[in-house]
Amino acid sequence: MKRRNFLINSGGALLSLPLFARTQNLPFLNQIGIQLYTLRKPISVDLAGTIKEVAKAGYKQVEPYGFPSPQAVTMIKRARENGMQVHSSHFDWNAVLHPKRKGVPSFEKILELANELELSHLVVPYLAETDRGNIDGYKKVAELLNQAAEKAADAKIQLAYHNHAFEFKPMEGGKTGYDVFIENFSTKMAFELDVFWVKLGGVDPVTMIKKLKGRVSQLHLKDLKKNTKLPHFGKVSPDTFDEIGDGMIKMEPIMKVAQQSGVIHCHVEQDQSPAPLKSIRKSLNYLKSK
């Protein structure tokens, strides 16, 4: 999606010009993405070759990680050279939350480079434990993200927050960090919903997408091993991550409600796999079969 197609209306809903023509089966498949963190190991060995394999597998867009690193910039360029689109990237969240730390790039510079590379979405991929120790910590994060979202919107870029499971752990008064974000995020600040971590946090992804209608910019489609005990807020073993179709999360209703709720992009992701290229092929083949 070109930046000129990106809008946020006065009520906070995420809008874009029509990008996804509905397929005969599931929505989003004709522009399905992959979060490249899934492929970080093969990328570290052969970035160009791995990106070519992603295109051969049938993915139409990629979402890099680590922006604005030179590696992330190269991912963007190589993906486009192979006919894939790049609209979104995960970026160094310290630029927003801890801008004075040594070696942290300025958020203004990140926005400038994102504009040069025609990105329309930037995503905060994680929240360090020191920033989420209590409800007040989450409120401070929300305040800083709202300020950054204002700057991003001025640059025609949508800022979003990517969840894990820890945001759904009850804290003071039974409130969760995600509750704080829902209540405190401004209309300029969006959510990139990772359905694996939502489910692991004991929350139904379909219900959450409906609740956040108009506020979820993107989804991460990631499956959770069957019979995993829920909720789970501790360390996750590698085999908890599964190929789409093999786990407990039904992606079909998620993708359909996402289309009805204003979601713009969907990206397959699998944090851990002994054979990540094989895994991303299997996940996409499953989605195409539905």
Write down the domain spans for the chain. 3-14+24-289
Q: Positive or negative CA dihedral for 89, 92, 98, 101?
A: negative
Of the candidates 7, 38, 15, the one whose C-alpha atom is nearest the C-alpha of residue 275 is 38
Other CB atoms within 10 A of residue 26 CB: 21
How far is CA 214 from each of CA 118, 122, 205, 237, rounded to the nearest angstrom? 23, 17, 15, 33
- Alpha-carbon distance 71 to 64, whole Å? 9
Of the candidates 237, 243, 225, 271, the one whose C-alpha atom is nearest the C-alpha of residue 90 is 271
Beta strands in the chain (DSSP E): 6-8, 14-16, 33-35, 61-63, 88-90, 121-124, 158-162, 189-194, 216-221, 223-224, 241-242, 265-268
Cβ neighbors of 158 (< 8 A, separation 6 or more) are: 6, 8, 14, 120, 121, 122, 152, 190, 217
pLDDT of residue 114 exceeding 50, the answer is yes
How far is CA 62 from each of CA 16, 34, 140, 266, rounded to the nearest angstrom? 19, 5, 31, 10
Instruction: Identify the pLDDT of residue 14.
Output: 55
Instruction: Report the chain's mean pLDDT, rounded to a whole number.
Output: 93
- Alpha-carbon distance 150 to 136, whole Å? 21
* pLDDT tens-digit series, residues 22-34: 445 899 999 999 9
Instruction: Identify the pLDDT of residue 21.
Output: 41
pLDDT of residue 1 exceeding 50, the answer is no
Token pair in block for residue 191: 């959510």
Percent of the chain with pLDDT over 90: 91
* pLDDT tens-digit series, residues 144-187: 999 999 999 999 999 999 999 999 999 999 999 999 999 999 99
Instruction: Identify the pLDDT of residue 25.
Output: 85
* pLDDT tens-digit series, residues 42-101: 999 999 999 999 999 999 999 999 999 999 999 999 999 999 999 999 999 999 999 999
pTM, entire model: 0.92
Instruction: Identify the pLDDT of residue 273.
Output: 98
Q: Which CATH superfamily is domain 3-14+24-289 in?
A: Divalent-metal-dependent TIM barrel enzymes (3.20.20.150)
Instruction: Identify the pLDDT of residue 24.
Output: 52
Q: Which amino acid does the sequence have at 186?
A: S
| Residue 209: CA count within 13 A, CB half-sphere | 27
Mean pLDDT computed over 253-267: 98
Of the candidates 156, 106, 97, the one whose C-alpha atom is nearest the C-alpha of residue 132 is 97
**Residue 54: phi, psi to the nearest 5?**
-65, -45
Query: 47-57 and 70-81 are packed helices; what angle lies between their axes, rounded to 10 degrees?
Result: 40
* pLDDT tens-digit series, residues 10-53: 345 554 434 444 445 899 999 999 999 999 999 999 999 999 99
